[in-house]
Amino acid sequence: MSGTSPPFRPPFCPNPKCDSRKNPLSWRYHKKGFFLRDAKPHRIQRYRCTHCHRYFSSQTFSTTYWLRRGHLLEAVFHRLVSCSGIRQIARETGVSHSTIRRLSDRLGRHCLLFHEQMRPKSGPTEPLVLDGFRTFEHSQYWPMDLNLVVGTSLFLYGFNDAELRRSGTMRPSQAAKRLILEKTYGRPDPSATEKGVEELLRRVVPPGAHAVLRSDEHPAYPRAMKRLKDRSFEHERTSSKAARTTSNPLFPVNLSDMLIRHCSSNHKRETIAFSKRRQSALYRMATFTVWRNYMKDRSENRKIGPPAKALGVIKRAMSAAQVLKIRLFADVVGIGRGWLRECYFGRIPTRALEGCRSHTARHAI
Ligand SMILES: [Zn+2]
What is the whole-number distance in angstroms between the Cα of residue 26 and the centre of ligand 1?
11
Q: Is the pLDDT of residue 83 over 70?
A: yes
What is the whole-number distance in angstroms between the Cα of residue 332 and the centre of ligand 1?
14
Model pLDDT, residue 4: 53
Model pLDDT, residue 141: 87
Strand-pairing partners, residue 237, are 215
Which has the minimum average pLDDT: 36-40, 78-82, 247-251, 281-285?
Answer: 36-40
What is the whole-number distance in angstroms between the Cα of residue 30 and the centre of ligand 1?
11
What is the whole-number distance in angstroms between the Cα of residue 188 and the centre of ligand 1?
44
Model pLDDT, residue 363: 44
Q: How far apart are CA 316 and CA 294, in angstroms?
A: 8
What is the whole-number distance in angstroms between the Cα of residue 31 and the centre of ligand 1?
13
Q: How far apart are CA 35 and CA 40, in angstroms?
A: 12
What is the whole-number distance in angstroms between the Cα of residue 34 and the centre of ligand 1?
18
Q: How far apart are CA 285 and CA 179, in angstroms?
A: 30
What is the whole-number distance in angstroms between the Cα of residue 44 and the centre of ligand 1?
19
Q: How far apart are CA 97 and CA 192, in angstroms?
A: 32
Mean pLDDT (whole number) for 73-90: 94
What is the whole-number distance in angstroms between the Cα of residue 331 and the centre of ligand 1?
14
Q: How far apart are CA 322 and CA 142, in angstroms?
A: 37
Mean pLDDT (whole number) for 61-89: 93
Mean pLDDT (whole number) for 91-114: 96
pLDDT digits (tens, 9 = 90+) for 192-237: 999 999 999 999 999 999 999 999 999 999 999 999 999 999 999 9
Q: What percent of the chain has pLDDT over 70?
A: 95
Q: Is the pLDDT of residue 71 over 50?
A: yes
Would you state the torsion angle of the CA atoms of residues 323, 329, 332, 333, taken in this order, to the nearest 10 degrees? 50
Query: What mean pLDDT, rounded, does the chain reach?
Result: 91
Model pLDDT, residue 361: 46
What is the whole-number distance in angstroms between the Cα of residue 355 and the centre of ligand 1?
38
Model pLDDT, residue 356: 55
What is the whole-number distance in angstroms between the Cα of residue 17 and the centre of ligand 1?
8
